[in-house]
Amino acid sequence: MKIPMKYIVRSLFTRRLTTAITVLGVALVVFVFTSVLMMSDGIRQTLRGTGSSENVLVARKAANGEISSIITSDVYGVISSLPQIARGVDGRSIISGDVVVVINLEKIGTNGGISNVTVRGVSAAAFQLRPQVRIKEGRMFNWGAREIIVGSSIARRFNGAQLGSTIKFAGDVWTIVGLYETGGDGFNSEMWGDVSQLQDAFRRGGSYSTVTFRMANPDQLELVKKAFADDNRLQQFEAKSERVFFEEQSEFMSIFISVLGIFITVFFSVGAIIGAMITMYAAVANRTVEIGTLRALGFKRRSVLTAFLIESFLLSLAGAAAGMFLASFLQFVQVSTMNFGSFSELEFTFALTAWTIFFGVIFAIIMGFAGGFLPSIRAARLNIVNALRST
C-alpha cells in the first residue's frame, strides 16, 4: 500500500525553515548551472545566426579569425570568376570583399576602459548577402566618403559611437551617418563602411581580409570546396559556409564557459546533495516513532522508502523550479564580452534552450536521489519495535 502523497507533502511543511533552506540551496545550484549554459548558448546562437548557409566565406586557411586573414586582389580575382556565384537582378555577381579590422573605443560606464570593436569595410553586394542589416536611424553611408554606419549594440555600449559623432582613426575623421539593426546577430556588434575607403585609410592596397559570396544554388558548397582544392592559386585559402564560419568563432568562448561552468556546478551539486542529505537524515531521525507507527499500521518497507525518496525529489524539484524561474529572467539581459574568435566585443542575450531546461531537471533529480537515497534506506530499515520505543 502506498503512503498518501498528502502525508509526504505535509511533512515537508512541518519544518518549514529547514525545507526552505534546502530548497534554496538546490535553487542556487540550478540557477548557476542554468545561467552558465544559457550564456554559452547565447554566444553560440548569436554567432550561428550571423552567417547564412547560402553564403560562402573565404578566409586564409591558417587564419584564426577574419582580422588575421589576408586575401590579395589577384586571389580575389580568381575567386570572383567561380561559376557557382549567384548573380543579382542587375546581372552582377553577389560577392563582397571585406576588410575587417578592430579599433579601440571607450566603453560606456567603465571609466575610460577601452575595448575592441570590429570595423568592416564592405562593397555594395554585402547588403544583398546580409539583408538583415537595415538602417534604423540616419542614412546609409555614401560610397567614396569617409562615413560609417554603426550597429545598434555598439552605439549603445561605446562612447562616441552615436549617430552624428565622429571617430578618428587612420589619420582621418569618420562621420557616423547611420545606425543599423540586424535583429541581434554578430553584425550588430560591428561598424560598416566603404571597403575602398578603409583599404585606402589603412594602406591595405587592394587586399581584403575575407571574401563572401552567395551561391547560385545552396547545395553547391561541395563544388566550391572542390574548386578550391583543385586550383593551385587557392591552396592557402578555405571556403566555408558563412554560417559555419561564424559559428566556429564562438567555439572557444562557449566551450570555455561551459567547461568552467560544469566544473563549478559539479562541485556545487555535491554541496547541495550533502545539504539535502542532512535534511533528509534529520527528517528520518525526527520521525522515528512516526515511521514505526506507519510500519505497525501495515505500510511496507518499500512504501516507506518510496515516501522518503519522493520527499527528497520534491525538495530538489522545487529547488530546480525556483532556480530556473530566476534564471529565465536572464533572457531579458543583454551582455557583451570580448569574443576570442573575433578579438572584439560581441553583444549577446542569455538563451534558454529546451536542452538546458531538460539538463537542469535531470540534474535536480540526480541531486534529489543522491541526497535522499541513504536516509530513505535508513528509514525503511528501521525495526518496528525499536522505532516505536524510541523517544
User: Which residues of this chain interact with other proteins, rule CB under 8 A?
Assistant: 15, 17-18, 21-22, 24-25, 28-29, 31-32, 36, 39, 60-64, 67-70, 101-104, 107, 110, 113-116, 169-171, 202-203, 205, 236, 257, 260, 263-264, 267-268, 270-272, 274-275, 277-279, 281-282, 285-286, 335-338, 343-345
**Distance set, CA 70 to CA 39, 237, 279, 332 (Å):** 32, 10, 62, 38
Residue 216: CB minimum distance to other proteins, A: 30
Q: Which is nearer to other proteins, 64 or 84 (CB)?
A: 64
Give whichever of 54 and 66 is closer to other proteins, judged by the CB atom. 66
Burial of 183 (0-12, 13-18, 19+ CB in 10 A): exposed
DSSP state of 66: G
Output the smallest distance, CB 196 to other proteins, in A.
Answer: 17
Cα separation, 256 vs 259, in Å, equals 5
- Report the residue number, 229 or 338, with the smaller CB distance to other proteins: 338
Report, in Å, the least distance between residue 227 CB and other proteins.
21
Q: How far is the CB of 226 from other proteins (least distance, A)?
A: 22
Nearer to other proteins, 104 or 142 (CB): 104
Which of 367, 370, 333 has the alpha carbon at shortest distance from 350? Answer: 333
CB of 371 to other proteins, least distance (A): 10
* Minimum CB distance to other proteins, residue 93 (Å): 25
Q: Where are the beta strands (DSSP E) in 225-350?
A: 237-241, 334-339, 344-349
Comparison of 9 and 333: residue with beta carbon closer to other proteins: 333
Judged by beta carbon, residue 252 or residue 299, the one nearer other proteins is 252
CA distance 80 to 323: 53
* CB crowding 184-207: b at 16 or more within 10 Å, else e: bbbbbbbbbbbbbbbbbbeebeee
Minimum distance from residue 22 beta carbon to other proteins (Å): 7
Q: Is 18 exposed, middle or buried (0-12, 13-18, 19+ CB in 10 A)?
A: middle
Q: How far is the CB of 67 from other proteins (least distance, A)?
A: 6
- Cβ-based nearer residue to other proteins, 129 or 315: 315
Give the H/E segment covering residue 380. Answer: helix 354-381
Angle at 153 between CA 247 and CA 141, to 5 degrees: 100
Distance CA 264, CA 32 (A): 9
Task: Return the number of the residue (100 or 149) whose C-beta is nearest other proteins.
Answer: 100
Contact 312, 276 (CB under 8 A): yes
Q: How far is CA 356 from CA 102, 184, 350, 351, in A?
A: 34, 21, 12, 9
The set of residues, in sequence order, having a beta carbon less than 8 Å from that of 150 and lying 6+ positions away, is 161, 162, 163, 176, 178, 179, 180, 191, 192
| Residue 190: CB minimum distance to other proteins, A | 14
Of 263 and 325, which CB lies nearer to other proteins in the complex structure?
Answer: 263
